Structure 1
Amino acid sequence: MSNLLATGSSALIAFQRALSTVGHNVANINTPGYSRQRVEFEARDATYFGYGYQGNGVQIVDVRRMADSLATSRLLDSGGELARLQQLSTLSSRLDQLFSEKATGISAPWSSFFDSVNALSSNAAGSADRESVLAQANALVTRFRQIDQHLDGLDIEVNAGLTAATDEVNRLAKEIAQLNGQIGGSSSPSGDLLDRRDQLISELVAFTGGNAATQDGGLVNVFSAGGQPLVVGATASTLVTVPDPYRPERLQVALETNGQRVTLDKRALGGQIGGLVEFRTTVLDPAMAELGRIATSLAQTFNEGHRAGMDQYGQMGADFFTLPAPRLSSNANNTGNASLTTSVGSVAGLNAQNVLLRFDGAAWVATHPDTGASIPMTGTGTAADPLVVNGIEVVLASGTPAANDRFLLQPTAGAAGNLGVAITDPGRIAAATPVKATTDLANTGSGKLSGLKVTDAANAALLAPADIEFIDATQYTINGTGPFAYTPGQTIAYNGWSVVLDGAPAAGDTFSVGPTGANSSDNGNAKLLSNLDDARVLNGGTLTLNGAIGGLTTQVGSAARQADYSAQAQQVIHDQAQAARDAVSGVNLDEEAADLMRLQQAYQAASQIIATADTLFQSLLAATRR
């Protein structure tokens, strides 16, 4: 009878605890990272009664945490990659909207500016048309600056994101290390404690990428995507942000461990941090540099054309746009005192990519700052023989470089934000060709002048009057010099201008070229300026300015779409990994309900065993009272 009571009691206690476990599973169905638990039953040791062994009921030997380490590892890997791609996609899409929307992009004010110049070419003397050119130029410059400011704002967001992410990584790593200490000191850690640690590791890897490795004693070590240790046993490393050695306003991520600080390679970062750095490196910086290249090319090309014209005051045109010199930043660890100056040498050779200039002790070397690949460069760095790399001229202005001193050249970065309009007086717009050609009314031949244009606006004698006089039909002189041979249709060039002469001049025929003068309605230079957006001035003379703008919009849009496609594909992979993990560890309400009913019935049956034992005992007591 006592054996029956003990057997029933063991069953009652075991089923009660099993019911509690099922209830714990149901209660945590929405708890992130929770792994369902299952009670393991085992029969108690039997007792030998001479005729054989008789059982003594049941006992619980383990509350098992249902987890698959392989499925958990797959989920960890996919989660870190998904976080990286989602971060990259989100920021890239914002940049794409900036360039593609008419209200925020560069295309609309760009077209309006060149349309106003084209209108001026139809009415060069019109004051309203001149005012319109200046207004549209200022609108274009304002849009360049607005876009550049927005790009700078995204760069600041990346800095803020890195700071916030490193703080969160440090918090998670510290808590994981603490849990490692608790779990490592326990022979049988609770499943809830293990779930909590796995969830924290998943959150940590979502920031840094990487993986986790379990060691003896149940401790888990966590490593970043680049293999740097974030958590080793009960010790957590610390992530910090440090200034870029060339651009202190820009932050990098470094790892502090064992008293040492190591700057993490941007190519070895994953998770949200990796997405932030990758966006800045592969999308934001190229867009900022290309926008600056377009602004620089516009200013250089338009200024050159504007200087070849004459304004309403009879003066040669000056620069229409203002533009700063290309950026050159010295490394914070340089030991020399060299000071370098920069200028744009060639628009056709202008390349937006950054260049690392290093003095090796004897000469300057140019390399790509990310890959270390060599970049062609000519010159020695003197004023007479400047360094020329990617269309930029660099001159050693003062001081002496020390061996291994380094400078970061950013040919076009930030140029769009500093573009300006140099003139405010509409009369200073150089719409006229600075020289004009006239034919003497007394000429008797059929010679006609056409195609007068300026070939060298910097020629000091450009505006000096010149007389072309024909000795006969095949020879001419210019201001008494010559004679020069003549054939119909040939180009005559002098003092920085050229003109085409057709027909058959007679002996004594005279043609004159002289300054256009003030208040001219000539529109020759305005016509040239209005077509500069279609001039092939970039990429060695193969790409127009209009083509560059279209290319920039396509470049940003393509990067955004690619990031979005990759994020969507990774989401599918992550969902599959999550489903595989949930198939083992997830709580299924139908399954738990079935277990609940089964255990409830078993509990009730165990209660009946105790009730039966009690009835037998009461019968025995009643018999002994008689």
Structure 2
Amino acid sequence: MANVLSTGSGALIAFQRALATVSHNVANVATEGYSRQRVELATRHPTDMGYGWVGNGVQVADVRRIADDLATSRLLDSGGELSRLQQLSAMASRVDSLMSDKATGLSGVWSNFFDATTGLSSNASSSAARQEVLADARALTNRFNQLNSQLDSLGNEVNSGLRASAEEVNRLGAEIARLNGEISSNPNNVSNDLLDQRDRLVSELVGHTGGTAVAQKDGALNVFTAGGQALVVGNTSSKLTTITDPFQPERLQLALDANGQQIRLNESSLGGKIGGLMDFRSDVLDPAQAELGRIAVGLAETFNQQHRAGMDLNGQMGTDFFSLPAPRATGHAANTGTGTLTASVGDLSKLDAQNVVLKFDGTAWSATRADTGAAVPLTGTGTAADPLTIGGVELVVGGTPAGGDRFLLQPTAGAAGGIKVAIDDPNRIAAATPVKAQTDIGNIGNGKVSGIKVTDPTNANLLTPADIEFIDGTQYTVNGAGPYTYTPGQPIAANGWSLTLDGVPSAGDNFRVGSTGAGSSDNGNALLLSNLDDAKALNSGTVSLNGAIGGLTTMVGSSARQADYAADAQKILHDQAQSARDAISGVNIDEEAANLIRFQQAYQAAAQVISTADSMFQSLISAVSR
């Protein structure tokens, strides 16, 4: 009778625990990261009655957390990569919108400027046309400045994101380390909910840094970044901190404080949200800003060169139409010498937007790409007469660099932010060809000037009057100098200009070349200026400025689309990993409902056993009391 009561009460308690566990599962069906729990029942040790072993009922052996380490690890990996790609996609899409939108992009104001220049070529003396050219030029340079400013703002957002993420990583790491301490101090008696809480924190941490978690024998979880750097080991967490870039103080990098040592982390060391921010900066933002600057340099250099070859309404040779900052060359914070590098654009057709690191070993200079470390060809000694030449940029070394000193060359990174219109007087627009040629009315041949152009605007004698006199049909003199051989169809050149003749000149024929002079309506240089957008000035003469703008838009758009596609694909993989985890650890309402009914019935049956034992006891009492 006592055995019946004990067996019944034990079963009642066991099924009560089972019902409580089922209720706990149902209550947490929507809790993120919750792992369902299951009561493991086992028979009590039987009693030897002499004639055999008699069972003593049931007991709760364990409340088991249903989890699979492989499924959890796969979910961590996919979650970190999804966070990285979603961050990269979101930021890249913003640059794409900035460059491709008509209201914020470059192509609209670019077209307006060259349309205005074409309009000037139709009426070179028009004040209105000249004012329009200046107005559209200012609008174009303002757009360059605005785009560069927006890209700078995105760079600042990356800095803010790195700071915020570093703080969150440190908070999560400290909490995981604390939980590791609690769990490892008593690994055989750990709350399942505590393990779930730690897994959720690890998932959040990996979402920021990428990486994985590795279990120790004592139950603690060690968390590592995507690059293998330890964030949490046992009950100790490392501290993630931001530091300034040694070449660019305005840019933040990340470092790991571990055991009193600071380890600088590169882009490949981190995944997750932080990795997405750093990938965006290195793979999308920096190339876009550098290419935007290269287009600004290409516009300024080509337009200025042609503008200097023209003459303005005041009768003066043209000056620079645009002003532009020089390429940046900044020293490393750890440099010990006094050396400086002064950079200027040498050959526009070879200008490369890639950032380059130059290093001085004490006797010679070498150059490598800043992003890959690949060697870059470098010539020259660094003097003013023989500057260092790399990718279309010339550098003159000043001061005394020490062995090991390094410099970062950014050929075009800041150009778009500094381009300006250098003139404010519309009369100073050099629309005219500075020299003109006239055919003497007394000529007896049929030779006529078909065109004249400036070949060297710096020639000191460019505007000096020149008389071309033909001795016969094959020889001529210039201001009495000569004779020179004349080949029909070939140009006649002198003093920085050249002209061509149609027809055949005769002996004694004269042609005069002189300054165009002030107030001219000549449009020769304006015509050349208006076609510069199609001039193949970049990539060794294979890419025009228009082509470069299209290439920039395509480059940014392609990066944004690829990031978006990759994020969508990773989302599918992550959902699959989540489904695989939930199939093992997730709460199934139908299953829990069935368990609820089953354990409820078992609980009622156990209660009936106790009731039967009570009846037996009452019968015994009644029999004995008679």
8 Å CA contact 1:125, 1:520 repeated in 2: yes
- CA separation in 2, counterparts of 1:70 and 1:440? 95
- CA separation in 1, counterparts of 2:409 and 2:361? 17
What per-residue deviation string (whole Å, max 9, x for no partner) do you get for residues 208-249 of structure 1? 111111111111111111111100111100000000000011
- CA separation in 2, counterparts of 1:215 and 1:610? 46
What per-residue deviation string (whole Å, max 9, x for no partner) do you get for residues 415-467 of structure 1? 10111000100000000000000011111111111120000111111000000
What per-residue deviation string (whole Å, max 9, x for no partner) do you get for residues 395-434 of structure 1? 01x3100001000000000110111000100000000000
Point out the more displaced range, 369-378 or 245-254: 369-378
| Aligned pairs, number | 625
Q: What SS does structure 1 have at the residue aligned with 2:396?
A: strand
Give the alignment's TM-score, normalised by structure 2.
Answer: 0.99
**What is the aligned partner in structure 2 of residue 39 from structure 1?**
39
- CA separation in 2, counterparts of 1:374 and 1:571? 38
Quote the offset at 1:623 in angstroms.
2.3
Q: What SS does structure 1 have at the residue aligned with 2:376?
A: coil
**What is the aligned partner in structure 2 of residue 480 from structure 1?**
480
- CA separation in 1, counterparts of 2:66 and 2:487? 98
**What is the aligned partner in structure 2 of residue 16 from structure 1?**
16
* Residue identity in the other structure for 1:317: G
Quote the offset at 1:487 in angstroms.
2.4
Quote the offset at 1:327 in angstroms.
0.7
- CA separation in 2, counterparts of 1:180 and 1:268? 24
* Residue identity in the other structure for 2:98: L
Quote the offset at 1:57 in angstroms.
1.0
**What is the aligned partner in structure 2 of residue 369 from structure 1?**
370
Quote the offset at 1:268 in angstroms.
2.1
**What is the aligned partner in structure 1 of residue 567 from structure 2?**
567
**What is the aligned partner in structure 2 of residue 189 from structure 1?**
190
Q: What SS does structure 2 have at the residue aligned with 1:477?
A: strand
- CA separation in 1, counterparts of 2:452 and 2:375? 45
What per-residue deviation string (whole Å, max 9, x for no partner) do you get for residues 595-626 of structure 1? 00000010011111111111111122222332
**What is the aligned partner in structure 2 of residue 433 from structure 1?**
433
- CA separation in 2, counterparts of 1:565 and 1:208? 21
**What is the aligned partner in structure 1 of residue 314 from structure 2?**
313
**What is the aligned partner in structure 1 of residue 409 from structure 2?**
409
1:528 paired to 2:528: yes
- CA separation in 2, counterparts of 1:349 and 1:166? 40
**What is the aligned partner in structure 2 of residue 265 from structure 1?**
266
Q: What SS does structure 1 have at the residue aligned with 2:213?
A: strand
1:174 paired to 2:203: no
1:87 paired to 2:90: no
Quote the offset at 1:269 in angstroms.
1.4
> Within 5 Å, which residues of 2 pair with 1:125-144?
125-144=125-144
- CA separation in 1, counterparts of 2:373 and 2:505? 64
8 Å CA contact 1:311, 1:431 repeated in 2: yes
**What is the aligned partner in structure 1 of residue 577 from structure 2?**
577
Quote the offset at 1:512 in angstroms.
0.3
Quote the offset at 1:502 in angstroms.
2.4
* Residue identity in the other structure for 2:258: T
**What is the aligned partner in structure 2 of residue 53 from structure 1?**
53
Quote the offset at 1:378 in angstroms.
1.1
**What is the aligned partner in structure 1 of residue 75 from structure 2?**
75
- CA separation in 2, counterparts of 1:382 and 1:238? 46
**What is the aligned partner in structure 1 of residue 161 from structure 2?**
161
- CA separation in 2, counterparts of 1:487 and 1:405? 58
* Residue identity in the other structure for 2:279: E
- CA separation in 2, counterparts of 1:562 and 1:529? 38
Quote the offset at 1:274 in angstroms.
0.6
* Residue identity in the other structure for 2:237: A
**What is the aligned partner in structure 2 of residue 211 from structure 1?**
212
1:237 paired to 2:238: yes
Q: What SS does structure 2 have at the residue aligned with 1:384?
A: coil
Runs of 4+ in 1 over 4 A off after TM superposition: none
Q: What SS does structure 1 have at the residue aligned with 2:167?
A: helix
1:122 paired to 2:135: no
**What is the aligned partner in structure 2 of residue 202 from structure 1?**
203
- CA separation in 2, counterparts of 1:592 and 1:360? 72
Quote the offset at 1:128 in angstroms.
0.5
Q: How much is the aligned-residue C-alpha RMSD, in angstroms?
A: 0.7
Quote the offset at 1:265 in angstroms.
1.6
* Residue identity in the other structure for 1:51: Y
- CA separation in 1, counterparts of 2:327 and 2:531? 26
- CA separation in 1, counterparts of 2:474 and 2:567? 74
- CA separation in 1, counterparts of 2:591 and 2:72? 22
- CA separation in 2, counterparts of 1:536 and 1:152? 29
8 Å CA contact 2:93, 2:560 repeated in 1: yes
* Residue identity in the other structure for 2:497: W
- CA separation in 2, counterparts of 1:218 and 1:192? 14
Q: What SS does structure 1 have at the residue aligned with 2:306?
A: helix
Quote the offset at 1:49 in angstroms.
1.2
What per-residue deviation string (whole Å, max 9, x for no partner) do you get for residues 131-178 of structure 1? 000000000011111110000000000000000001000001101100
**What is the aligned partner in structure 1 of residue 257 from structure 2?**
256
Quote the offset at 1:314 in angstroms.
0.1
What per-residue deviation string (whole Å, max 9, x for no partner) do you get for residues 25-58 of structure 1? 1111111111000000001111111211111111
**What is the aligned partner in structure 2 of residue 595 from structure 1?**
595
8 Å CA contact 2:330, 2:341 repeated in 1: no
**What is the aligned partner in structure 1 of residue 497 from structure 2?**
497
8 Å CA contact 2:355, 2:371 repeated in 1: no
* Residue identity in the other structure for 1:130: R
Q: What SS does structure 2 have at the residue aligned with 1:499?
A: strand
Q: What SS does structure 2 have at the residue aligned with 1:42?
A: strand
What per-residue deviation string (whole Å, max 9, x for no partner) do you get for residues 283-336 of structure 1? 000000000000011001000010000000000000000001101110000000
Q: Percent identity?
A: 67
Q: What SS does structure 1 have at the residue aligned with 2:336?
A: coil
**What is the aligned partner in structure 2 of residue 350 from structure 1?**
351
**What is the aligned partner in structure 1 of residue 608 from structure 2?**
608
**What is the aligned partner in structure 1 of residue 622 from structure 2?**
622
- CA separation in 2, counterparts of 1:16 and 1:457? 100
Q: What SS does structure 2 have at the residue aligned with 1:403?
A: coil
- CA separation in 2, counterparts of 1:75 and 1:446? 87
Q: What SS does structure 2 have at the residue aligned with 1:348?
A: helix
What per-residue deviation string (whole Å, max 9, x for no partner) do you get for residues 47-92 of structure 1? 1112111111110010000000010010011111111111100100
Q: What SS does structure 2 have at the residue aligned with 1:519?
A: coil
* Residue identity in the other structure for 2:431: A
Q: What SS does structure 1 have at the residue aligned with 2:148?
A: helix
Q: Which runs of 5+ in 1 are unaligned?
A: none
**What is the aligned partner in structure 1 of residue 542 from structure 2?**
542
**What is the aligned partner in structure 1 of residue 296 from structure 2?**
295
8 Å CA contact 1:490, 1:502 repeated in 2: no
- CA separation in 1, counterparts of 2:543 and 2:315? 34
- CA separation in 1, counterparts of 2:115 and 2:180? 69
8 Å CA contact 2:329, 2:407 repeated in 1: yes
8 Å CA contact 2:535, 2:544 repeated in 1: yes
* Residue identity in the other structure for 1:560: A
Q: Which runs of 5+ in 2 are unaligned?
A: none
